[in-house]
Amino acid sequence: MKNTNFLSYTKLQYKRFTNNIISFFSVFSFQTIIQIIYPPAMLFTWGVENFGVWIFLSSIPTTLSIFNINVSFASRTEMSVNFEKKKYKEVNKIFCNSFFLVLFNMIIFSLISLSIFLIQDSNIEIFSNININNLDAIFLLIILAFYFTILDNFFFMGVTYTGNVSRYNYITLSYEVMLKILIPLSGIFFNDLIYPAIILLIVNFLKNLTLFVIYQNNKKRLSLIFTNYDFKYIKFLFRLSLSFYFQNVSYIIKNNGILILSGFYFGPSIVGLITTTKTLFYYLPNRFLDILNSSLYYEYSKSFGQKKFNHLILIFKTQIKFTLLVLLFFILCSLTFGSTIYGFWLNYEYDLTFMLLFLIVMESFFFNLYNSIEVLIKAVNKFFKTTIVSLFFSLTTLFTTYMLFNMDYSFYFYFYINLLSSLSILIFVCYFTYRFYERIK
């Protein structure tokens, strides 16, 4: 086997990888600061009840996105691989046909959202003790804001396919910071949740406008040519995107599903408790590890496209060692100091028991470990089987939780089931990744 190491990188590769690492670390740092400040700021200006209601309402569009086939990651991966092979016409063809799929997604999302809008019922548990004015208008504004999130997928492909994602990250981060500042501040001047919904719509529109300008100035070899429309190619991209779609559905069910169910069966305080505990003990380590995972994503695609398998294996081994060290340190600190930090953070507005903390921390460990392992096969679009397994366990967890909530069981049972689900997914991901690893070894 030919020996290889990171020194085999060219100066351009080092620059790209370093820029991506720095941008992802910047995103992580600012997102961490935002997530530390945002919940207590919302609790201070909007109160426990309104905060829980806002979390519930803003999670609805994300949950509805399970009906959208997100082609951006699969298409971007194919564009990156073909870009490295200097097949520039193929890159542009992928880009153009992906645009048609994005439009199709927007149509599907419109139909689903309209149906929900017409049949929505305000007589559910989360609204029982609070007077929500303009509920229809708030829901409509949040839905409209999500259209721009769908359109982001198009610009994501056009801006990042060459491997440099730093500019896209900085733009996304800037508008996220703006959003997390303006929404809590609005609670000082207003007491109606329609104003945060208006802010969400305006900020998402401005972000799209900025990405459009960046795309126009940096599209290089890309051009949106409608004569490139090819139904067979769209079918190919659709099939290729199914892995990413199933993974996205699994993730949404895993995280937003519990918020929706909690909103129906429990009050806003439980929704707030679940959201804040997952923010600190679930999303925080996930975002930290994503600094490396996202930066290596293109490197895996590039190495695979150039058939540099030795280099690919070396990177993978280093990544997993780093991931395990980070997660073990995270478990130790969380179980030792987590409850105290959480209580101080939110001024003891919520009651976090050690059992709930333990369940979330251990489930976070299993999730983040299999998520990091899966990056290798995800970067080369070889992870369809693992996404099917993940989706199966996520749906089983949601259905079982729904049945238990109907029988008046505690929301704790969701976390018991979710822990077993993540452990099972980890076992399957390890198996399928090992099989791929052996083939290229």
What pLDDT, on the 0 to 100 scale, is given for residue 129? 59
How do residues 184-214 score in pLDDT, each as one tens digit? Answer: 999 999 888 899 999 999 999 999 899 888 8
Average pLDDT over residues 312-329: 91
Tell me the pLDDT of the chain averaged across its residues. Answer: 82
Look at 14-18, 327-331, 333-337, 396-400 and tell me which has the smallest mean pLDDT: 14-18
Q: How many angstroms separate the CA atoms of 215 and 168, rounded?
A: 10
Tell me, rounded to whole angstroms, the distance of Cα 290 from its chain centroid. Answer: 10
What pLDDT, on the 0 to 100 scale, is given for residue 128? 62
Instruction: Identify the band that residue 7 occupies on the pLDDT scale cut at 50, 70 and 90.
Output: very low
What pLDDT, on the 0 to 100 scale, is given for residue 135? 79
Q: Does residue 218 register a pLDDT over 70?
A: no
What pLDDT, on the 0 to 100 scale, is given for residue 197? 92
Instruction: Identify the band that residue 132 occupies on the pLDDT scale cut at 50, 70 and 90.
Output: low
What pLDDT, on the 0 to 100 scale, is given for residue 226? 67
Q: How many angstroms separate the CA atoms of 261 and 31, rounded?
A: 26
Q: How many angstroms separate the CA atoms of 9 and 191, rounded?
A: 55
What pLDDT, on the 0 to 100 scale, is given for residue 379? 79
Q: How many angstroms separate the CA atoms of 76 and 157, rounded?
A: 5
Q: H-helix or E-strand containing 224? A: none
Instruction: Identify the band that residue 366 occupies on the pLDDT scale cut at 50, 70 and 90.
Output: very high
> Bigger pLDDT: 159 or 332?
332
Q: How many angstroms separate the CA atoms of 84 and 96, rounded?
A: 19
Average pLDDT over residues 239-258: 80
Q: Does residue 104 register a pLDDT over 70?
A: yes
What pLDDT, on the 0 to 100 scale, is given for residue 421? 93
Rounded to two decimals, the pTM is 0.70
Helices (H), 266-283: 268-278
How do residues 137-187 score in pLDDT, each as one tens digit? Answer: 888 898 888 888 888 878 887 777 776 677 788 888 889 889 999 999 999
* Structural domain boundaries in the chain: 6-440
Q: Does residue 339 register a pLDDT over 80?
A: yes
